[in-house]
Amino acid sequence: MNRAEPIAADVRTQLMALRAEVGGHRDREPHDRYSRIAIGQAIEGGLEGNAAIGALIVDPDGEVILSERNRMFVPRFRSDFHAEMVLLTRYENEHGNEADLRGHTLVSSLEPCEMCTIRIINSGVTNTLFVASDLGKGGMTGPNTLAAHWARLAEPQTFATADCSPRLAEIALEVFQATIGGVVKKMMARRLPG
């Protein structure tokens, strides 16, 4: 990999091809538009050298009010900057005490991890949709059990896969898988040699 390039050339080529495919996608299912926006953000994140995951907030009228992406390595290292965390941090910074996500939907290109699942519960956002499941290992479909207080807080909230075209769900996972190897490599480089 060229030092000036944030990602390997083959990964870039793959992400560009998937971006073109999503650009040509004709929406058929109720959540296709939101899924495309999440994937679009994911791909931008991947091209920047981060994990390719995107997320957005939809208001009760169905309008997308904010979209963000994973920013863990670029522009600087932030161990908490998963897409959902960046999104909710930005929303809460912008709204302060007026922050109120009742009736809103958070859409993530990939099933939120454990950290983001707790953050989503804390945010109070009513609905969460994910375009691709993290292969049964995410914060929602994984084997984890929430502590009683988290479970109680999550009761009025819904968590589900997005009702999108199957190909979009595949692409959401493909863009993540294309980038996660490089990200794990960068994370391993921050650890003591084993």
Residues of this chain that bind Zn ion (CB under 5 A): 82, 113, 115-116
Rg from Cα positions in the chain: 16
d(Cα 140, Cα 133) in Å, to the nearest integer? 9
Q: How far is the CB of 70 from Zn ion (least distance, A)?
A: 8
Of 9, 22, 53, the closest CA to residue 177 belongs to 53
* For Zn ion, the closer CB: 64 or 115: 115
* For Zn ion, the closer CB: 71 or 104: 71
Type and span of the H or E element at 107: strand 105-110
* For Zn ion, the closer CB: 21 or 161: 161
Name the burial class of residue 181, with classes exposed (0-12), middle (13-18) and buried (19+) by CB atoms within 10 angstroms of its CB.
exposed
Q: How far is the CB of 17 from Zn ion (least distance, A)?
A: 26
Q: How far is the CB of 168 from Zn ion (least distance, A)?
A: 20
CB 136 within 8 A of CB 173: no
Q: How far is the CB of 4 from Zn ion (least distance, A)?
A: 29
Q: Which residues contact 154 (CB under 8 A, 6 or more apart)?
A: 121, 146
* For Zn ion, the closer CB: 34 or 130: 130
Q: How far is the CB of 183 from Zn ion (least distance, A)?
A: 12
C-beta neighbour count of 72 within 10 angstroms: 22
* For Zn ion, the closer CB: 113 or 140: 113
CB 81 within 8 A of CB 113: no
